[in-house]
Amino acid sequence: APTRGQKAQEAGIVSIRTDMCINGCHAYTGPLAERTTCLLCKTARYKDNTSPPEKRQPQQYFTNIPIGPYLQAMRRSPEIAEQYKYLGDCVKDIRNKI
């Protein structure tokens, strides 16, 4: 039986892992993507800054699932598509009453 991760991958849902400050000050993305220390609290980004760059482990990270592919995958499900249709019909009814 496929695992939950395999099902998500087959559906086109991918997660994005982004390094962040261990104190939660900011994520290392955009203009901060290349920094090795926190802009605010000056803590190290990686557990061991002396390791080669490809082997460095972040002290903390968060996982993000982009909403677009997630919603597209949901719409491919007949049950969810029917629920979307029901919601759309309810919104139309409310707009017609206004």
DSSP annotation string for 69-94: HHHHHHHTSHHHHHHHHHHHHHHHHH
Write out pLDDT tens, residues 43-78.
999 998 778 888 999 999 999 988 988 888 887 888
| Of 71 and 11, the one with more pLDDT | 71
Q: 20 near 28, Cβ under 8 Å? A: yes
Banded pLDDT at 9 (limits 50, 70, 90): low
Average model confidence (pLDDT) for the chain? Answer: 88
Phi/psi for 56 (5° steps) reads: -70, 140
Residues 6+ apart with CB under 8 A from 37: 43, 44, 45
Q: 16 near 64, Cβ under 8 Å? A: yes
